Every structure is written in C-alpha cells, then in structure tokens.
Amino acid sequence: MSSLTVGSHILEWGERTYVMGILNITPDSFSGDGLLSSSSAPNSTPSGESVEGVVEIARHFLAAGVDILDVGGESTRPGSQPVDAWAEKRRVLPVIRAIGAAFPGTLISIDTFKAEVATEALEAGASIINDVWGLRLDLQLAGVAARAAAPVILMHNRSKPANVEVRDRLGSAYLGAEYEDLMEDVKRELMESVRIARSAGIPDEHIVLDPGIGFGKTIEQNLELINRLDEIRALGFPVLLGASRKSFIGYTLDLPPNQRVEGTAAAIAVGITRGADIVRVHDVEAMSRVVRMTDAIVRTRKNA
C-alpha cells in the first residue's frame, strides 16, 4: 500500500482517512470563518493578538484529531477580491512561523497558487503545497515544489470570476462550466496537472488529487463527483475531498454556511466510502468523529 513521508510523518493511504483543518487568514471567507476581521484592509496583516488566537485555534484543531493544518491567505469565495503575493505573505507567514514554534513537527500545508508565496511559506515551516489551480496558473510553482521536495495537492478548477450566482441567504456559488463528459473531463484535466508536476521533477508519491468540489461545477455535478469519487481514486493517486460547508450543500438543503454541518458530514461519509484519503474541513471536532466512525465501518473491511 502506498504512503507519503513528510518529515517525521508517514501517511499510509488506505489505512485511515486524514483530516485537514482549515485556517483561513482572510477577512472574507465564504464560510464566515476568516481569521482576520471583516473590517480589515485588503493588505492587512494579522496582529500579534490575532496570531496568538490562530495558534490557540490550531491547538484546538490538533487536540480534535486534525492531521494537517491548511493555512491560506487569499479567499477562494466566489466573487472575492484577489490579493497580491506581498499581502498574502504578510497574512500567512507569521501564522506558519507561530504554529511551527508552538507545535514543532506539525504538518502545515500552504493554500496558495503563487510560487513566491509557496517558497517563503515552505521556508517558514510549511511542508505541503495546496494549489487550487493544479499548477496551471503560476508556471513557476511546480519547480518550487520539486526543488523543496514538497508534496503537492492538485485541484481541478474551471471556475471563472464572471460566472457567479449570489443569493443573500445562501451566499455565492460558481456556476457550472461546460463539460462534454464531467468525469472524463475532470480526470483528463487532473492528469494534465500531473503531467506538469512530473515534468518539473515531482515524483508520483508526492502528488495528491482534488476534484475541486464547488469550483466551476453545478450542484448536480458536485453531487455526482462525490458519488463517483472512486473514479478519481482509480487514477492511482490519493484523493483529497474539500466539501466542507460549500454552497452545493446550502443550495441542496436551503441552509446558510453556519448550518451545513450535517450536509458536510454526509458528503464526507460518502466520500470516504468512495475512496477519499484526506478530508478538508472547518468543523474539526464533528468531522473528526464522522471520519473515525466511517473509517471503522469502511477501513476495517478493506484492511481485513
């Protein structure tokens, strides 16, 4: 069975599902969990007090069973305003350094598509690059990962800023892109990201795939992707599922982001049965329990 070694950590794919906890160092997260004040200026940086607060949240996450802390400084919320690399670094670097000092050896991923941000985040203590554009937006990023021997999470993404639907209560959602065949198109484009990674010298064992739930897909397409996640897993790489609190849940259940725990739990449980290896979540305590229970049912049979 394949595995990924990152520092002192060995992730044994198929043995259990790993939990990634989300730390959004932004003022405008879609889920309302951004750890900068909503009144913060676009280029604001976390205060010392804010960084201490994030460290306490990280402590809570780790105590709840989180395996990877995912630190991001730019919102991917539909309709959000982009920030430049300088501003993004000002947000994430103090947090990564503080978490590393408080919890040495903790696995930290940097949620960025910018080579400049990734380079300095890895130097500050991050170990994994989580790129929502699958190495296709900043063509220098693959080289950064290869030189640092950093694993990469490659997400499928067809979202376009102009294709956004906004509902006051349910929030914003990317509208679906045109697909000739949803699963075949997603698989083909993920393998294009894999080709970019391989060309840069990133070994296959350092690659994780993410089908990009919510990014350029309709509600129905998101549901289908989760139900057919095993087809992504069949490509031969571990799979990350990021469904937490997303708009397809809100639109399905007619619920705002802060009431999507049960919908997230259902998506995660089904995703694990279809082969998800990592789940990226906001509600770490509840979702860690969902993961443990689903693993007890699914992994026991697989590993018997």
CA distances from residue 201 to 133, 194, 237, 262 in whole angstroms, order as listed: 18, 11, 16, 41
- Residues labelled as active-site residues: 246, 280
Per the DSSP assignment, residues forming a β-bridge with 6 are 9
Can you tell me the distance from the alpha carbon of 39 to that of 133, in angstroms, rounded to the nearest whole number? 28
Give the span between the Cα atoms of 110 and 70, in whole angstroms. 6
Tokens of 54: 């994030």
DSSP of 150-215: --EEEE-----TT-EEEETTTEEEEPP---SSHHHHHHHHHHHHHHHHHHHT--GGGEEEE--TTS
Of the candidates 235, 229, 258, the one whose C-alpha atom is nearest the C-alpha of residue 245 is 258
State both tokens at 139. Answer: 């063509």
Task: Count CB neighbours of 42 within 10 A.
Answer: 11
Instruction: Report how far apart the first and last C-alpha atoms of the chain are (Å, whole number).
Output: 14
Hey, how many other C-beta atoms are within 10 angstroms of the C-beta on 161? 11
